[in-house]
């Protein structure tokens, strides 16, 4: 029979890849918890409208990349392509705005986008993301960028921090008009997608990867020249904070992001090694209101776990492995030894195979154990264990009653 394969774009993670993946997750969680973010565990499925309304009808994600399906009553559901929309839905649904003066949440889990798979781009991928609701001060934008920067530093990953402001309801319409006019004038040079985008979502033309489009937008009007006084002040204060926090950044006037909900600050951390964005986020001051809640400023970011895992050189080391090897009729004693070692905090495996010392040691080596704990009939009689360091060959005897205090 032909064997089954995983679905295109959906991957198994094994061995060292899993270790790197968990190193990223745990690092992000640790940094977020140190900034007092609380976890929210969200469903993987939402009504499709939650994403259509938030991410935007005219975005690639909603137009082309969502896994959408009807439930048995014909309501349209979607596998979540990102986390922010679900957090906003929950924030409103559970009236979280009434509980605290402001709210700091984080989430993690799989996201789904029907994109063309390639290195670092999957149809199921994982994010850890964080959102702050209720504060419009650029200090929070700076904190979010600082957290992202710290995550990269802790993981020893080199990235460029790119920032931009994409304005607000006051100033963006004028910019959009100027940009659309400009794009009309260079329409002949744009790719087919951008011809379509220039009317429906002109800002997206600015980060099209097609070389002809890149050249065509070089002379395009820049949002920075159109910012209203408030947006300009926000941008200036943010850069002041980043300077005083010692975070290096570049201002990229073409950074616009692929989701429609952003206002003012947008940012991305771009790996020079892979040439892809690994962390991204920004401010979205109108989204809560647009989803039916009271006007609430918000800002957040999300980490692409697989993308960072690709850049992790050394995953967090696992604890050394102690392999307990029962010889002869010592299994019950060996089981007790295993539990005592585990209670003292060790990673322990019991050999399931029978056989003499040579065979058992060979097995311990093949399972990459660091120590063999030899349990023979002598050990049972003397109430001790023999611990052999499999790297150095050194062997010591430890009495059972000293197992918690012994340095093994």
Asked whether position 285 contacts ligand HAM by CB under 6 A, the answer is no
Which strands make up the sheet holding 298-304, listed edge to edge?
Answer: 38-39, 103-112, 124-133, 298-304, 276-283, 263-271, 159-165, 250-251
Nearer to ligand HAM, 108 or 379 (CB): 108
d(CA 322, CA 106): 36
Nearer to ligand HAM, 157 or 374 (CB): 157
Asked whether position 60 contacts ligand HAM by CB under 6 A, the answer is no
Residue for token digits 């190193």? 23
From 20, 104, 113, 388, residue interacting with ligand HAM (rule: CB under 6 A): 113
Closest separation between CB of residue 99 and ligand HAM, Å?
20
Whether residue 107 contacts residue 90, with contact meaning beta carbons closer than 8 Å, is answered with no
From 281, 293, 297, 376, residue interacting with ligand HAM (rule: CB under 6 A): 281
The total number of residues written for the chain in this structure: 408
> Which of these segments, 114-122, 158-166, 246-254, 390-398, binds ligand HAM (CB under 6 A)?
114-122
d(CA 167, CA 257): 13
> Which of these segments, 134-142, 209-217, 295-303, 320-328, binds ligand HAM (CB under 6 A)?
295-303
Closest separation between CB of residue 216 and ligand HAM, Å?
24
DSSP SS3 for 277:
strand
DSSP string, 213-250: HHHHTTTS--GGGT--HHHHHHHHHHHHHHHHHT---E
Whether residue 304 contacts residue 194, with contact meaning beta carbons closer than 8 Å, is answered with no
Asked whether position 167 contacts ligand HAM by CB under 6 A, the answer is no
Task: Please tell me the count of residues contacting ligand HAM according to CB under 6 A.
Answer: 25
From 56, 86, 129, 376, residue interacting with ligand HAM (rule: CB under 6 A): 129
> What does the per-residue mask of binding to ligand HAM show for 299-338, with x meaning CB under 6 A?
-xxx-x-xx-------------------------------
Asked whether position 252 contacts ligand HAM by CB under 6 A, the answer is no
d(CA 368, CA 371): 9
d(CA 114, CA 197): 20
Which chain residues interact with ligand HAM by CB under 6 A? 82-84, 113, 115, 120-122, 125, 127, 129, 131, 258, 277-282, 300-302, 304, 306-307
């Amino acid at each position: 029979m032909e064997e089954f394969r995983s679905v295109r774009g959906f991957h198994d993670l094994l061995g060292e890849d899993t270790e790197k993946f968990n190193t990223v997750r745990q690092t992000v969680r640790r940094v977020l918890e140190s900034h007092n973010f609380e976890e929210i565990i969200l469903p993987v499925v939402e009504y499709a409208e939650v994403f259509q309304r938030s991410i935007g009808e005219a975005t690639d994600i909603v137009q082309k990349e969502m896994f959408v399906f009807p439930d048995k009553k014909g309501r349209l559901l979607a596998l979540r392509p990102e986390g922010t929309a679900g957090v906003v839905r929950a924030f409103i649904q559970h009236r979280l705005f009434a509980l605290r003066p402001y709210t700091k949440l984080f989430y993690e889990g799989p996201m789904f986008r029907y994109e063309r798979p390639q290195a670092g781009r999957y149809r199921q991928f994982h994010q850890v993301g964080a959102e702050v609701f209720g504060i419009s001060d650029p200090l929070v934008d700076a904190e979010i960028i600082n957290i992202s920067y710290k995550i990269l530093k802790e993981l020893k990953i080199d990235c460029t921090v790119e920032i931009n402001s994409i304005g607000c309801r006051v100033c963006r319409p004028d910019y959009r008009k100027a940009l659309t006019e400009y794009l009309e004038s260079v329409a002949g040079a744009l790719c087919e997608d951008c011809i379509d985008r220039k009317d429906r979502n002109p800002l997206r033309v600015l980060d099209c990867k097609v070389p002809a489009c890149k050249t065509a937008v070089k002379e395009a009007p820049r949002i920075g020249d159109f910012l209203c006084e408030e947006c300009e002040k926000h941008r200036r204060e943010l850069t002041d904070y980043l300077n005083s926090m010692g975070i290096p950044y570049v201002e990229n006037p073409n950074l616009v992001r692929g989701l429609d909900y952003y206002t003012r600050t947008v940012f991305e951390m771009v790996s020079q090694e892979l040439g892809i964005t690994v962390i991204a986020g920004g401010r979205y001051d109108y989204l809560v209101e647009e989803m039916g809640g009271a006007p609430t400023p918000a800002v957040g970011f999300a980490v692409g776990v697989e993308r960072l895992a690709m850049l992790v050189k050394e995953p967090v080391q696992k604890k050394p492995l102690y392999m307990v090897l029962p010889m002869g009729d010592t299994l019950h004693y060996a089981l007790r030894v295993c539990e005592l070692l585990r209670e003292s905090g060790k990673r322990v495996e019991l050999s399931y195979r029978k056989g003499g010392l040579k065979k058992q040691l060979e097995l311990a080596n093949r399972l990459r154990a660091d120590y063999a704990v030899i349990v023979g009939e002598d050990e049972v009689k003397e109430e001790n264990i023999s611990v052999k360091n499999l790297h150095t060959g050194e062997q010591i005897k430890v009495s059972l009653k000293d197992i918690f205090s012994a340095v093994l």
